[in-house]
A = this chain, B = another copy of it.
């Protein structure tokens, strides 16, 4: 399934630009920082991620981090998204397969550092318009676009009815994942993912 090349990070825009003059940046530091963030995230959650702690962990200066990302929230957002990779629009030929691909991606994402990062990230997004906008347009919108296309194809194939609220369908499919990740009242499981697809199909199928 994997798309070999990790391609370019969806959130490249939250990084600080580098100039072509002067001493070039040490590329290794970039990857060191990101992996350190992901590790700390996994262990201690968003709060445990501290610029200072990350710097110490990889034996670098704090300035090397602030040179690349404008703030902690940008760094964490970038790290998490880069770890998930760019998800291509799946086209399996049938709606069920496409939706299963979608929830599969969510399942994997919420099994990783995203889960630990989400609460803190969500709070910081509320205080940083530009970051929120970046995440919305570069990450969420990308995912949603591919889901929308999958539904569109299904309509074209006559597989499902038309006239339903596409955005709401998307949110009913994916919202429960975020909801459960944030409140933890129920597990995010394969079974749950499977059922979610089933229920969405039931909503959109022809009468």
Contact = CB atoms under 8 A, between A and B. Distances in A.
8 contacts: A46-B123, A120-B123, A122-B123, A132-B183, A175-B177, A175-B179, A175-B180, A179-B179
A66 interface: no
Given A125-B119, A185-B136, A179 B168 contact: no
Nearest to A140: B185
Contact of A122 (B122, B132, B141): B122
Interface in A131-153: 132, 135-136, 140-141, 144
A168 B184 contact: no
A15 B171 CA distance: 35
For the complex of A and B, list the 6 residue pairs with the smallest distance between their C-beta atoms, beginning with the closest: A175-B175, A123-B123, A171-B176, A175-B179, A119-B126, A175-B176
A142 to B, nearest CB: 12
User: Size class of A's contact patch?
Assistant: 35 or more
A165 B195 CA distance: 8
Contacts of A185: 136, 140-141, 144
A86 interface: no
Interface stretch (A16-24, A89-97, A196-204): A196-204
B176 A45 contact: no
A58 interface: no
Given A45-B126, A119-B126, A168 B183 contact: no
Interface in A166-188: 167-169, 171-172, 174-180, 182-186
A108 interface: no
A51 interface: no
A130 interface: no
A127 B203 CA distance: 37
